[in-house]
A and B are shown apart, each in its own frame.
Chain A
Amino acid sequence: MSSMVKAHPVSQQRKSSLVESVAAGMITRSAMVLTSSLHTREGQSHHVSGMYENTYQLKPDQIPKSCQLREIVQEVLTEHLSGLTYDQSLGVMTKKLAEQMKQRAKELALSRYKYVAMVVLGPVTRTSASLASRCVWNPTYDTFGEFTYTNHSIMATGVLYGLYVE
């Protein structure tokens, strides 16, 4: 009979970051930094947010399957993007897609899992792009799913990571 005793409720907010690339011929080399809104959190900056009882649990009850996560990404992308043509307003759609992916992942209702959803969306042109990702994690409990959706004018890649909180 173990129960979790929380001193302060842990807030889990949606975090979205939107980056737009604009071709600017005059800039030779520059860097722009976007950060999460970590600096605006109110209250104490103490790491220990509450006292937890021991669960004596070494493994997660259920590990998300990589195919499950991939299915979520596939469904969200095809549902929202099929039939659309690329234009500037799709920036908002990108945010919505990431949010949707995260919502669906939460619906899997797996305990002690954190999710990170990322979407990269661009037009189908002669431009080439390369996306790489690497993680430092526990490969037995953490996983990810990815899917690329293309139609005649839009190319979108979505990745959904699921990480266990030990």
Chain B
Amino acid sequence: MDDFQSAEETAFVVDEVTNIIKEAVEGAIGGNGYQHNKVNQWTSNVVEQCLNQLTKLGKPFKYIVTCVIMQKNGAGLHTASSCFWDNSTDGSCTVRWENKTMFCIVSVFGLAI
């Protein structure tokens, strides 16, 4: 028989990914207030953590993870994304996290190989 993995193993499971993102963000910037000199390191940490956990899932996916951290100062921010992919196998997930001093928006795109 042809080998194919079951649908659960090869689909983009949004809930799983959401949890991974939340944990990564909490772990990297959880109780901190906004600090300009650390923000670059934080974004890198969040993204790396997410990616490490995602690869541990062991699914046949390519991942793109982006993270925007912004100070809360009354300014607004708009983000949009548009993707040309295969609807049945690929997916994305965006988590918006905030505390008293900053916002963090993490997007994960998963594209099946």
Contacts and interface: CB of A to CB of B under 8 A. Distances in A.
Given A127-B70, A136-B62, A115 B84 contact: yes
Contact of A46 (B7, B55, B71): B7
21 contacts: A20-B76, A21-B96, A25-B100, A28-B99, A31-B25, A34-B94, A34-B96, A35-B94, A36-B14, A39-B14, A47-B7, A47-B10, A102-B84, A106-B84, A118-B81, A118-B107, A119-B80, A119-B81, A122-B78, A131-B43, A133-B47
A1 interface: no
Interface of B: 4-7, 10-12, 14, 18, 22, 25, 36, 39-40, 42-44, 46-48, 51, 54-55, 61-100, 103, 105, 107, 109, 111-113
A35 B64 contact: no
Nearest to A132: B43
B67 to A, nearest CB: 5
A165 B89 CA distance: 12
Nearest to A51: B2
Contact of A12 (B87, B97, B109): B87
Interface stretch (A57-65, A66-74, A88-96): A88-96
Contacts of B73: 23, 125-127
A125 B72 CA distance: 11
Contacts of B92: 15, 17, 35-36
A117 B82 contact: yes
Nearest to A96: B80
A95 B83 CA distance: 11
Interface in A30-47: 30-36, 38-39, 41, 45-47
A33 B95 contact: yes
B66 to A, nearest CB: 4
B96 A130 contact: no
A11 B84 CA distance: 10
A7 interface: no
